[in-house]
Amino acid sequence: MGTASSKSNINLSQVLNTEEPYSSVMLAVAALLAVVCYLWIQGKSKSKKEPPLPPGPWPLPIVGNLPFLNSDVLHTQFQALTLKYGPLMKIHLGSKLAIVVSSPDMAREVLKTHDITFANHDLPEVGKINTYGGEDILWSPYGTHWRRLRKLCVMKMFTTPTLEASYSTRREETRQTIVHMSEMAREGSPVNLGEQIFLSIFNVVTRMMWGATVEGDERTSLGNELKTLISDISDIEGIQNYSDFFPLFSRFDFQGLVKQMKGHVKKLDLLFDRVMESHVKMVGKKSEEEEDFLQYLLRVKDDDEKAPLSMTHVKSLLMDMVLGGVDTSVNASEFAMAEIVSRPEVLNKIRQELDQVIGKDNIVEESHLPKLPYLQAVMKETLRLHPTLPLLVPHRNSETSVVAGYTVPKDSKIFINVWAIHRDPKNWDEPNEFKPERFLENSLDFNGGDFKYLPFGSGRRICAAINMAERLVLFNIASLLHSFDWKAPQGQKFEVEEKFGLVLKLKSPLVAIPVPRLSDPKLYTA
């Protein structure tokens, strides 16, 4: 037994001695695996960790930065804050996170690099009222329905052949404006240019939409009424509505903005109902070439099974045309006229160009416009200094994104501060000066390809009506400047001061006395 015991002890010792190196190896392997696992877990946690939010002013609890923002000068406040926090900045609007974009590079990131992600617009509470629940082109989410709405409008209203075919309408309405102003000139009466430009453009757009026009004694009174109504609607859209920043309380409408909007929209709604009722009876009675926009919509509304149009969709498109197509063009025209008549040196250059191309024994035709490079430069410079939508229409991202190394959470409100981009000394020489000559020296256009100049936006949501707006504005101001000299009423002077809102406007109406300047009095007849 002793021998057996001895052998047993030896075997046990041998076993222990032979396992010792293996045990050390196993411990080393285990330690190595632990380190690898730790590093892998750390790497995973870092990869999951999102980049920081963009910099921005420190918010107060609940209300965020709202107490420090003035809705009357929001674009200039954002511009000032950008100098401290950079071209991609966060602002807390109550429970809503807003991101302010203030440079060409950041605008390119949002409107081109991440275009699809940021292709939605941020629908406000009041926008739900004047677009029948956001069923229009402006506020509809990017997708099949939105693409069909835009396609319908572009095909029937904004293509080059359509615009050329509707030139007679623009010509007739512009001539009516000139005739009306010449009558006021004979009386030495001052003219509210904004109202008259509004009526001219309103008549053009409504004739293209449903064949209606306003003339005679009704022209001035109705022009004032409709301009005020449409202006009030756009003003409400530009007010900071706390219902947008605190959605839980939106049903209470503490500021009464939704109630006001309903009252204004009801008036336009009655007009649309009356017009649509008469047009429903006419569907199919005109050829496709003869039908107006409304007849076209009523005819094709059920053609696409994937995106059929309801009568509400039809009305929302009419609202887009009236509010978007008229108001923005009128304000651009007003700013252009205000800048021109307040600057004698600019006015003289335009007159020289008009007289050289057209002469004083003829009237302006649209065919003359491409031959007026200085006037085109004046329009571009006007929209640089006074972009119609200074913050564009706020965008909203459909998913969380990383822009320039910063996280932009899903459903953020995205402001593109075009007003600040257009006045940035990094992009423009003497940015606050009115210098049309700068556009004679470059090839910048309205199509949003160069992100330092975005008067109509860029990307998928760029304005669909650029071609029509350019023709309307240029033809109007060319005709007014060619037909008349303009004098300030006694004791007054021309001023160019902005009133901020969703749409940028002149703070005070542009009132001037027209003085005929053409050689033949017959040129002031229709």
Binding-site annotation: residue ranges: 463
Token output for 223 = 């022009």
329 C-beta neighbours (distance < 10 Å), count? 26
- The H-or-E segment that residue 235 falls in is helix 218-237
DSSP single-letter state for residue 450: S
The alpha carbon of residue 482 and the mean position of all alpha carbons in its chain are separated, in whole angstroms, by: 30
Q: Which helix (H) or strand (E) holds 42?
A: helix 2-48
- The CA distances from residue 436 to 343, 383, 439, 440, in Å, are 12, 11, 6, 7
Backbone dihedral angles phi then psi of residue 100, each to the nearest 5 degrees? -105, 125
Q: How would you list the strands of the sheet with 413-416, edge to edge?
A: 88-93, 96-101, 413-416, 395-396, 120-121
What does the alpha-carbon distance between residue 396 and residue 122 come to, in Å, rounded to a whole number? Answer: 5
- Work out the number of other CB atoms within 10 angstroms of the CB of residue 198: 25
The three-point CA angle 332-166-136 to 5° equals 60
Farthest CA pair distance, the chain = 143
Taking the C-alpha atoms of residue 357 and residue 296, their distance in angstroms, rounded to an integer, is: 38
Instruction: Tell me the binding residues for heme.
Output: 463
Rounded to 5 degrees, what are φ and ψ at 96?
-100, 130
How wide is the angle at C-alpha 335 spanned by C-alphas 329 and 339, nearest 5°? 145
Rounded to an integer, what distance in angstroms lies between the CA atom of residue 376 and that of residue 381?
A: 9
Cβ pair 369, 526 in contact under 8 A: no
Nearest to 229 by CA among 339, 125, 137, 330: 330
Residue 124 backbone zone (phi > 0: left; psi -120 to 50: alpha; other: beta): beta
Q: How far apart are CA 171 and CA 473, in angstroms?
A: 13
What is the H or E stretch that residue 120 is in?
Answer: strand 120-121
